[in-house]
């Protein structure tokens, strides 16, 4: 079988703790499989820049509070920086550096002409009124004014930010430029240059990869059983599409637990997180816990809620034959190794949920060209990008005898390294 990700000399290493450690580990791991100049690996170990700003916010009561904001820009050898902007109390310098590196791999695996970035503000968005969120966003945009731009670095929504946040960024930037600059951010409302299909895209790409992996391992989609953890933007869209394409979705969940029906759920009748937050179990005839969902004996398991849910503790109890990662980082480092030893195939997040950044790219292309694509065109183009990426990763799995995760990193690193070697280092 494939090489063990977390095993060194037969001993399982401690899992990397931060996104930066994970991202660096994955780079080192990929570099062992690719004939790449070590100087390029050295360059990719560090972000090109981490911008740190202090954002003053006038609270509704008139007092002023200072917040820390960041924008990490990892690598732009293949094109402008691209990545989310999050408002969350855990945001810090190391986290955005690691997540920016992940974005570099994600963009490269689906062959988008972007490099990775990530940013955010260390703030709990639930503590802000809407007016405060708008003021914080506009001031942050001003502080990052010289480092973002449609040809340099293009933010997108992430945890705690949404289409409205992007609209405020676009407006603030455009006012300062004295021209409407839609392409400075993606994930905007369609009224101001957002793309059709953007919201559904990460779930759609997860479903496409789910369909492909089932077919690859000879599980006909009609008749295959699927469990999906998380019924939000990613999970609900993935579950509904797989259901529509003939799979039997036996369980879906939210933070409160899972709806379960071994004969198959009607996924359209269950409200998604957006339609009615945390209501999955309210309509269910039979419920099980999230822990039990992860251990169901299904053909395909899609963890699409949060990170680190498949761990050293439960990896030996996972009964699914195939896993497609919908969430970012749902499988820990050690769990990955246990699953590999047990022959459970895990298709990684950087491939499976890359539909989000792919349709962000389509949005950017539409904005730059002042054209609007139909939903049908967006979905067709997404399908073709995902299938090309799937084929490239599958090729590495078959020729190098590595895991799907390693294969995805090999595809990404090979493309990035080729661009670095071609452009060279100046001076």
How far is 353 from 207, CA to CA, in rounded Å? 9
In angstroms, give the least distance from the CB of 133 to ligand NAD: 17
Which two tokens mark 202?
Answer: 């990460």
Q: For ligand NAD, which stretch binds (CB under 6 A), given 22-30, 141-149, 324-332, 361-369? A: 324-332
Residue 102 in the binding site for ligand NAD (CB under 6 A): no
> Residue 199 or residue 345: which is nearer to ligand NAD going by CB?
199
**Residue nearest ligand NAD by beta-carbon distance:** 232
Residue 202 in the binding site for ligand NAD (CB under 6 A): yes
| Cross-strand pairs, 121 | 69, 87
Residue 225 in the binding site for ligand NAD (CB under 6 A): no
In the shown chain, the binding pattern of residues 149 to 188 toward ligand NAD, with x for contact by CB under 6 A and - for none, equals ----------------------------------------
Q: Is 164 helix (H, G, I), strand (E, B) or coil?
A: helix
How many residues touch ligand NAD under the rule CB under 6 A: the total is 23
In angstroms, give the least distance from the CB of 322 to ligand NAD: 18
In angstroms, give the least distance from the CB of 420 to ligand NAD: 26
Least Cα distance to 251 among 297, 220, 306 occurs for: 297
Contacting residue, 192, 292, 306, 418, with ligand NAD by CB under 6 A: 306
Residues 6+ positions from 387 with CB-CB distance below 8 Å: 208, 212
Please give the backbone phi and psi of residue 367, each rounded to the nearest 5 degrees, phi first.
-65, -45
C-alpha to C-alpha distances, 316 to 176, 209, 335, 344, nearest whole angstrom: 55, 24, 8, 10
Residue 254 in the binding site for ligand NAD (CB under 6 A): yes
Q: For ligand NAD, which stretch binds (CB under 6 A), given 131-139, 213-221, 250-258, 310-318? A: 250-258
Contacting residue, 74, 273, 405, 415, with ligand NAD by CB under 6 A: 273
In angstroms, give the least distance from the CB of 292 to ligand NAD: 12
Residue 267 in the binding site for ligand NAD (CB under 6 A): no
Least Cα distance to 228 among 303, 133, 122 occurs for: 303
At CA 247, angle to CA 243 and CA 252, rounded to 5? 60
How far is 325 from 349, CA to CA, in rounded Å? 5
First to last CA, the chain: 44
Residue 292 in the binding site for ligand NAD (CB under 6 A): no
Residues 57-96 that bind ligand NAD (CB under 6 A): none
Contacting residue, 26, 167, 224, 290, with ligand NAD by CB under 6 A: 290
Q: 380 catalytic, yes or no?
A: no
DSSP string spanning 242-309?
Answer: HHHTT-EEEEEEETTEEEE-TT---GGGSPPTTTSTT-TGGG-SSEE-HHHHHT---SEEEE-S-SS-
Residues 6+ positions from 350 with CB-CB distance below 8 Å: 102, 105, 106, 109, 408, 409, 412
In angstroms, give the least distance from the CB of 259 to ligand NAD: 11
Residue 48 in the binding site for ligand NAD (CB under 6 A): no
Residue 327 in the binding site for ligand NAD (CB under 6 A): yes
List, by residue number, the catalytic residues: 118
- Residues lying near ligand NAD in the complex (CB under 6 A): 202, 229-235, 253-255, 273, 278, 290, 304-307, 326-328, 353, 356
């Amino acid at each position: 079988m494939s090489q063990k990700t977390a095993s060194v000399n037969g001993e399982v290493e401690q899992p990397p703790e931060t996104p930066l450690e994970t991202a660096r580990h994955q780079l080192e791991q990929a570099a062992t499989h690719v004939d790449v100049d070590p100087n390029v690996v050295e360059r990719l170990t560090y972000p090109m820049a981490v911008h740190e700003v202090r954002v003053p916010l006038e609270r509704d009561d008139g007092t002023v509070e200072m917040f820390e904001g960041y924008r990490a820009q990892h690598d732009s050898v293949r094109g402008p920086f691209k990545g989310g902007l999050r408002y969350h109390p855990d945001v810090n310098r190391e986290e955005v550096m690691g997540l920016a590196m992940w974005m570099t791999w994600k963009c490269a695996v689906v062959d988008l002409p972007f490099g990775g970035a990530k940013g955010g503000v260390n703030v709990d968005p639930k503590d802000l009124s809407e007016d405060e969120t708008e003021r914080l966003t506009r001031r942050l945009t001003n502080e990052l004014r010289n480092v973002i731009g449609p040809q340099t670095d293009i933010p997108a929504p992430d945890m705690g930010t949404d289409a409205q946040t992007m609209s405020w960024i676009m407006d603030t930037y455009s006012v300062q430029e004295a021209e409407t600059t839609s392409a400075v951010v993606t994930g905007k409302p369609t009224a101001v240059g957002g793309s059709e299909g953007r919201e559904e895209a990460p779930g759609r790409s997860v479903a496409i990869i789910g369909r492909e992996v089932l077919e690859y391992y000879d599980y006909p989609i009609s008749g295959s059983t699927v469990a999906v953890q998380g019924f939000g933007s990613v999970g609900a869209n993935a579950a509904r599409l797989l259901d529509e394409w003939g799979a039997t979705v036996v369980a879906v969940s939210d933070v409160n637990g899972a709806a379960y029906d071994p004969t198959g759920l009607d996924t359209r009748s269950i409200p998604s997180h957006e339609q009615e937050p945390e209501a999955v179990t309210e309509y269910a005839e039979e419920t099980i816990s999230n822990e039990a969902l992860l251990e169901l004996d299904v053909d395909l398991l899609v963890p699409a809620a949060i990170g680190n849910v498949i761990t050293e503790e439960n990896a030996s109890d996972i009964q699914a034959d195939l896993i497609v990662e919908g969430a970012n980082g749902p499988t820990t480092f050690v769990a990955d190794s246990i699953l590999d030893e047990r022959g459970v195939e895990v298709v990684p997040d950087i491939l499976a949920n890359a539909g989000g950044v792919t349709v962000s790219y389509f949005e950017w292309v539409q904005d730059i060209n002042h054209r609007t694509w139909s939903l049908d065109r967006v979905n067709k183009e997404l399908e073709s990008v995902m299938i090309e990426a799937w084929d490239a990763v599958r090729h590495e799995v078959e020729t190098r005898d590595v895991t799907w995760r390693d294969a995805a990193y090999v595809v990404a690193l090979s493309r990035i390294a080729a661009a670095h070697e071609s452009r060279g280092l100046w001076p």
